[in-house]
Structure 1
């Protein structure tokens, strides 16, 4: 497994809505994540800064990259665009984080 971590940016006052939407994550979105090799996915919120920190384990970079172009992922990005900082295609602005320590 490849461990990936990243940060995204939540709009002010949208923490409750973000959590609500993820608690109701569409079954087809869950299925796509698993089909594209994603496992053990967590997102954390720093309430002081509205920065979201994501962690996911993936099977393969190329397989995971295909998730971005699935219709269900595009639909999810459109659904989430009103509460997050996004790029022009509605994908969330996401900055990878450099791993500096890991312990099993």
Structure 2
């Protein structure tokens, strides 16, 4: 499933409240995210306010459009917008998406099968 990583900048004076709000996200928001294709969704916050988000979804545009059709998302985004610096769009549309340049499991899966003797280390021989 495609992986998505993005960043936003949380205002440093609002970081504690941002963390508190995400410790108990509204149940209807959680369900809407799940129902619209946001899987394995995580947020990470650095001490300077850099927020990194990660999710897996078959289609990010469809997942975003699905959320845009929900009332709960409109309410959540309106409340969350004040936590971010330099954001002209709702947070779920204004993030900076990062390009994936490496994924261990993808590269391991692409390796040709090896015979048991070719995987031995010098100590094994």
Bigger RCO of structures 1 and 2 (CA < 8 A, at least 6 apart): 1
Change (3 A) 1:22 1:103: same
* Larger CA Rg, structure 1 vs 2: 2
- Looking at secondary structure, tell me which structure has more strand per residue: 1
Query: How far off its partner does 1:74 sit?
Result: 1.0
CA RMSD, aligned part only? 1.5
- Looking at secondary structure, tell me which structure has more helix per residue: 2
> TM-score when scaled to structure 1?
0.87
What corresponds to 1:29 in structure 2?
A: 29
Could you list the runs of 5+ residues in structure 2 that have no partner in the other structure?
106-125
Q: How many residues align?
A: 101
Query: How far off its partner does 1:82 sit?
Result: 2.0
What corresponds to 1:63 in structure 2?
A: 62
Query: How many Å separate the matches in 2 of 1:16 and 1:35?
Result: 29
Could you list the runs of 5+ residues in structure 1 that have no partner in the other structure?
none
> 2:8 matched to 1:5?
no
